[in-house]
Amino acid sequence: MRDLSCGAYRIYLEFDVRRVFCRRCAGVKRERLSFLADGALHTKRFADYVGRRCRSATIKDLAAELHLGWDRVKELDKQYMRAQLARVGTPGPKVIGVDELSICKGHTYRIVVSDLIRGRPIWFGGEDRSEASMATFYDGLGKKKSARIRLAVMNMWKPFRNATNTHAPQAAILFDKFHIMRHLGEALDKVRQSEYVRLSGKQRRFMKGQKYTLLSHKENLTLEGRQALKTLLAANKRLNTAYLLKESFGQLWSYEREGWARRFFENWRAALKWQRLAPYEKFAQMIDRHWDGIAAYCKPENKVSLGFVEGLNNKIRVLQRRAYGLRDEEYLRLKILTCMLPAL
């Protein structure tokens, strides 16, 4: 039986385990030892060590370091993560964040639900990003706990909104501002592409290779990037107008009353008149259709940190890249649900 190593030496334990005949059930019972992990091939402290190391190391590297099989390291990691989940218990969230995750090519999606107050993912599942898959989360949570949810943060995907309205009608729906600003960034990029097609020759030279310079916030650019942005905006009036409108739209999230926010949006939309910015006009129509989920952010009780869902997505992508893709969906589920939990 493998135990923790001592320096460069691997330690193995050998001992006898008692077996007892039970007169009541006429069966043979084996002695249970608290220091053994599941499977009785390793001590519990060795299994915990493997699980802690797998939080930052790949299975392949750890298997080579500990002279274990790849599948054995993976199974020990699963045991460790299941123990983490058992320790935190069943979730009862009041504020949830909902997002979809692409797990492989071909538009294969799963849904990730997070507890935004505790700052950790609490559910990963579904067959796709449909309303039925989202309803699976609420069914597992139960009617009593679903009734405690007061706020649901999500993107503007209609099935998520419909499932929430059906199973948690008391919850206010708030659309994630990062997804909304991403739509605005895509509109700005379409303006850039149309201008690149319209122009020719030397007029294009200021636009070539400046996509991310245009989409980034000015304070995040280097000195060279700021100079390139200044030159680009001075050379193209339509791009300059589109960029200024994109930067000013972020002011919408600072209002504390819906009336003020609506007045700002109407003024912003009025500024589009005669600008010939078709992608921006489509974006404004989308905002108008989904206004209720945007105006909810003006209420003081809905002022929650919206960056966690986006940060979790980045963390999941790191997990997938580190493993060159996780084909075992159950292992991916455990990795996601435990990535924010403290080590045992």
**Residue 312 reports pLDDT greater than 90:** no
Cβ neighbour number for residue 269 with a 10 Å cutoff? 17
Q: Are strands 9-12 and 19-22 parallel, antiparallel or unpaired?
A: unpaired
DSSP annotation of 161 reads H
110, pLDDT greater than 80 = yes
Residue 106 has pLDDT above 70, yes or no: no
Characterize the bridge pairing of strands 108-115 and 95-104.
antiparallel
**Is residue 124 helix, strand or coil?**
strand
Rounded Cα–Cα distance for residues 177 and 279 (Å): 18
Q: At what angle do helices 70-88 and 59-66 cross, to 10 degrees?
A: 110
* pLDDT score for 313: 83
Range in 182-186, 217-221, 283-287 the model is least confident about: 217-221
- Separation between Cα atoms, residue 148 and residue 135, nearest integer Å: 16
Q: What percent of the chain has pLDDT over 70?
A: 98
Domain boundary assignment for the chain: 2-88, 95-176+306-338, 178-300
Read off the pLDDT of residues 260-285 as tens digits, 9 standing for 90 and up. 999 999 999 999 988 889 999 999 99
Query: pLDDT band for position 107 (50/70/90)?
Result: confident
Nearest-CA neighbor of 75 among 330, 260, 318, 297? Answer: 330
Mean pLDDT (whole number) for 23-29: 87
What is the model's pTM? 0.83
Mean pLDDT of 31-40: 80
- Between CA 163 and CA 110 the distance in angstroms is 15
Confidence of residue 173 (pLDDT cuts 50, 70, 90): very high
Task: Please state which of the ranges 38-42, 131-135, 168-172 shows the lowest mean pLDDT.
Answer: 38-42
% of the chain at pLDDT higher than 90: 48
Contact call for residues 308 and 47 (beta carbons, < 8 A): no
Q: Are strands 120-125 and 108-115 parallel, antiparallel or unpaired?
A: antiparallel
Give the homologous superfamily in CATH for domain 95-176+306-338: Ribonuclease H-like superfamily/Ribonuclease H (3.30.420.10)
Look at residue 298 and tell me whether its pLDDT is greater than 70: yes
Min mean pLDDT across 224-233, 238-247, 303-312, 326-335 is at 303-312
Using pLDDT thresholds of 50, 70 and 90, give the confidence band for residue 165. Answer: very high
pLDDT of residue 209: 79
Evaluate if residue 212 carries a pLDDT over 90.
no
Q: Which of 306, 284, 280 is nearest to 194 (CA)?
A: 280
- Most trustworthy range by pLDDT among 150-164, 193-207, 325-339: 150-164
Lowest model confidence (mean pLDDT) among 124-138, 169-183, 191-205: 191-205
Terminal-to-terminal C-alpha distance of the chain: 22
- The pLDDT confidence band at residue 74, using thresholds 50, 70 and 90, is very high
Would you place residue 81 in the very low, low, confident or very high pLDDT band (cuts 50, 70, 90)?
very high
Question: Residue 325 above 70 pLDDT?
Answer: no
What does the alpha-carbon distance between residue 43 and residue 41 come to, in Å, rounded to a whole number? 7
> According to the model, what pLDDT value does residue 112 have?
94
As a whole number of angstroms, the distance between CA 141 and CA 143 comes to: 7
Q: How far apart are CA 77 and CA 294, in angstroms?
A: 41
Q: In this structure, are residues 110 and 103 in contact, taking their beta carbons and an 8 Å threshold?
A: yes
Compute the mean pLDDT over every residue in the chain, rounded to the nearest whole number: 89
Contact criterion met (CB below 8 Å) for 159 and 143: no
Task: Check residue 291 and give its pLDDT.
Answer: 94
Query: How far is Cα 31 from Cα 40, in angstroms, rounded to an integer?
Result: 11
pLDDT of the residue at 94: 93
Q: Could you give the 3-state DSSP secondary structure of residue 282?
A: helix
| 216 token code pair | 């980034």
